[in-house]
Amino acid sequence: MKLKILLVAVTSLIIGVLGTYFLAPSFSSDNVLEHLHEDEEGQLWTCGMHPEIILEEPGDCPICGMKLVPVKGSGSGITSGEKEILFWRAPMDPNEIYDEPGKSKMGMDLVPVYADEAGAAGVVSIDPVVVQNMNVKTAFVKERQLANKIVTNAVLSTNETTDKIITTRVNGWIEKLYINYTGQKVSKGDKLLDIYSPELVSAQEELLTAINYQNATASSKVSNIMESGNTLVKNSIAKLRLLEIPERDIKNIIETGELKTYMTLYAPNNGTVMHKNVDEGQKIMPGMNLLRIANLSELWLYADIYEYELAKIKKSAEAKINFNFMPGKTFSGKVDFIYPTINPKTRTAKVRININNTSGELKPDMLATVTIIGADLGIYPTIPEEAILRGGLSDIVIVSIGEGKFKPQPVKLGAYADGYYQILEGLSEGTEIVTSAQFLIDSESNLKAAVKKFSSEPSKIEANETDMSEGTSTNKKVEQAPVKSGMNMEDESHELEQSELVRTGIIDLEEIDENNDGKVYQDAMDWNVISDEPGECPLCGMTLQEFTLEEAKKNLEKHGYKAEALSGGNETGQTNEYGVDSPLIRTGVIDLEAIDENDDGKVYQDFMDWNVISDEPGRCPVCNMILQEVTLEDAKSNLIEHGYQVK
């Protein structure tokens, strides 16, 4: 029994030794290291806080000392299996996104955006470690009704319509002043001051002389003499009226025949003396501002409204007013007028609110806090203001797609209140958006471009430099490599830009026209895409249009490209601005009702060349896009918006 056990043990030992001898090479440390090296070949490393740092080996960030993290997608590993389609987009507008395949608004086939190609559509893919280091915070778009209340500061002022300035039209002196101090209340008809003026005395003497002459000529049988007396009296009375002598004083002079050595000025209405600019015995001049009287029973309140809040304000809006001197009491008023100008320094507009002050509690120049109940803003999707990245031409919001993927989304903003903006276009309720660290995500987007430059093959760069140094013609035909189905969209875009049909520099049309038929095929959108044979544009997929060499040259020059001069013989006569002769291209003052021959109130319009309009479905003769059905009113708005004249 012991012998059998011994034999089994020896046999097992021999088998183990032989197995180790034959199998060990395949699992040697050298092979394992080589395998790891192959997996990590091409892998780049970056800092989560400083994405501009890109290194070929792991380690610490030279700026902050943090551990470097691998750049996602920079290695050479290849995953197997079918690629995941994130969404479908229009080839001409990356912001036109769909969940399923189909046609874009321009009638072009939608293109898929894969998970590993999302960057071509503006999607940024960030490693979760980097996302955590960035402290990215998100929120969801919610529908809500923004507060339509506007709280602002205001200042009281007098009612301009009741302000009166007391002045005179003669030279003289203040004989008697009945107003003793500023702030004195007066009633309509109260005496304000007496003025002695030699001019007034002279005017009264003229009246008395005219009356005596009238009486002396009253018995004359000569009608002209009688009439002259009446005329002198009328003229003398008119002169006194022009000097603002009260009617009662003129009547008293006529009845008594006595001169008044002074003229009395009376209060024109009830009010308070706001300014007293003269003293008793002072000499005065015509037009001099003597007194200013204002009625304080109704005051005006001027409130400043910022530009972005003006849309909420409307005339007759209710206003609640509070003053610091009287806590707990609220005055009511209404917006009476919105001033038509903006203060260029404060960027505010003034609104005027009428406020009753019959009790006399309020004083001009008091400060107030005003709450104006504005117009109803409606219910819209809203986002926090910190989620918006301001651009020169558009506003951007970073949308979180999930799994570390982010996409910049242009939005159209509406009203603003309490830290939130309305979203009129671009986002819907429930969309997850980034509210912090957006600028770091933008840095990550720039990092992806830096990685591509960093990892470019030197041979390609050297080849490009060699071609440029040798002055290779940009119009020379080069064999175009077929596009591989597995390549991502950014690589595909790079190859398309290198297509033989995309012309750069000074374009020689006669060299492109190899068959010497005097015609070429040109893209009506990317005008520098030119071929000698029919086909499609490698950039946008549109069908190339046939043009004569002269037409193609005009198209290039019109859109900022340079072309070699033609040797002659290619003139084709007059063409329109597109180089295409078609009745669908409307010029001058466009009559939409005349185009609408079937009187259905609709036409078909091109959304790129807006003056291409038809009464029937079809394609644009310029860019070959499908014409879109619009109402006559919409077509008119489109034309006016893009600078065309409409009947």
28, 76, 121, 270, 406 from 46: Cα distances, Å? 32, 17, 23, 81, 19
Cβ neighbours for 410, distance < 8 A, ≥ 6 positions apart: 95, 394, 395, 396, 426
Strand arrangement of the beta sheet that strand 185-186 belongs to = 164-166, 291-294, 271-276, 185-186
pLDDT for 438: 58
pLDDT, tens only, 105-163: 777 777 777 655 544 446 777 777 777 777 888 999 999 888 888 899 999 999 998 89
Residue % of the chain over a pLDDT of 70:
76
87 falls in which pLDDT band (50, 70, 90)? confident
pLDDT for 321: 93
Cβ neighbours for 505, distance < 8 A, ≥ 6 positions apart: 474, 475, 562
pLDDT, tens only, 186-240: 999 899 999 998 888 888 888 888 888 888 887 777 778 778 878 888 898 998 8
pLDDT for 156: 94
**Is 522 within 8 Å of 530 (Cβ atoms)?**
yes
**What 8-state DSSP symbol labels residue 28?**
-
H or E segment at 201?
helix 198-216
pLDDT for 582: 78
Lowest average pLDDT, out of 69-73, 237-241, 334-338, 624-628, goes to 69-73
pLDDT, tens only, 386-426: 898 887 678 888 888 887 788 888 899 988 888 899 999 88
**Is 186 within 8 Å of 270 (Cβ atoms)?**
yes
Q: Coil, strand or helix: which one is 332?
A: strand
CA distance 30 to 26: 9
Lowest average pLDDT, out of 3-12, 111-120, 401-410, 472-481, goes to 472-481
More confident residue, 613 or 417: 613
Q: What is the mean pLDDT of residues 38-43?
A: 54
87, 437, 446 from 126: Cα distances, Å? 18, 13, 12
Average pLDDT, the chain: 77
Q: At residue 174, does pLDDT exceed 70? A: yes
pLDDT for 443: 56
Q: What angle do CA 41, 75, 459 make, to 5 degrees?
A: 70
- State both tokens at 267: 């209060």
CA distance 616 to 628: 10
pLDDT, tens only, 356-383: 888 888 999 999 999 998 888 888 999 9
Other beta carbons within 10 Å of 473? 10
Handedness of CA 464, 466, 468, 471 (dihedral sign): negative
pTM of the model: 0.47
pLDDT for 83: 63
| Residue corresponding to tokens 């008023």 | 333
Cβ neighbours for 331, distance < 8 A, ≥ 6 positions apart: 320, 321, 322, 323, 355, 356, 362
Cβ neighbours for 218, distance < 8 A, ≥ 6 positions apart: 226, 229
444 falls in which pLDDT band (50, 70, 90)? low
Lowest average pLDDT, out of 62-71, 76-85, 470-479, goes to 470-479
Distance linking the first and last C-alpha atoms of the chain: 117
pLDDT for 472: 38
293 falls in which pLDDT band (50, 70, 90)? very high
Beta bridge partners of 48: none
pLDDT, tens only, 520-547: 999 887 888 999 989 888 887 778 888 8
Q: What is the mean pLDDT of residues 484-489?
A: 38
299 falls in which pLDDT band (50, 70, 90)? very high
Q: At residue 15, does pLDDT exceed 60? A: no
**Is 319 within 8 Å of 164 (Cβ atoms)?**
no
pLDDT for 575: 45
Q: What is the mean pLDDT of residues 477-490?
A: 37
CA distance 522 to 546: 6
Handedness of CA 363, 364, 366, 367 (dihedral sign): positive
Beta strand 530-531 with 602-605: parallel, antiparallel or unpaired? unpaired
Other beta carbons within 10 Å of 324? 9
CA distance 324 to 271: 26
Q: What is the mean pLDDT of residues 7-32?
A: 46
Lowest average pLDDT, out of 409-418, 449-458, 536-545, 615-624, goes to 449-458
pLDDT, tens only, 316-334: 889 999 998 888 889 989 9
Give Cα 647 to chain centroid, integer Å: 29
pLDDT for 572: 38
Cβ neighbours for 497, distance < 8 A, ≥ 6 positions apart: 539
- Of 131, 142, 145, nearest to 433 by C-alpha is 142
Half-sphere exposure of 149 (CA within 13 A, CB side): 9
- Of 68, 106, 70, 79, nearest to 90 by C-alpha is 106
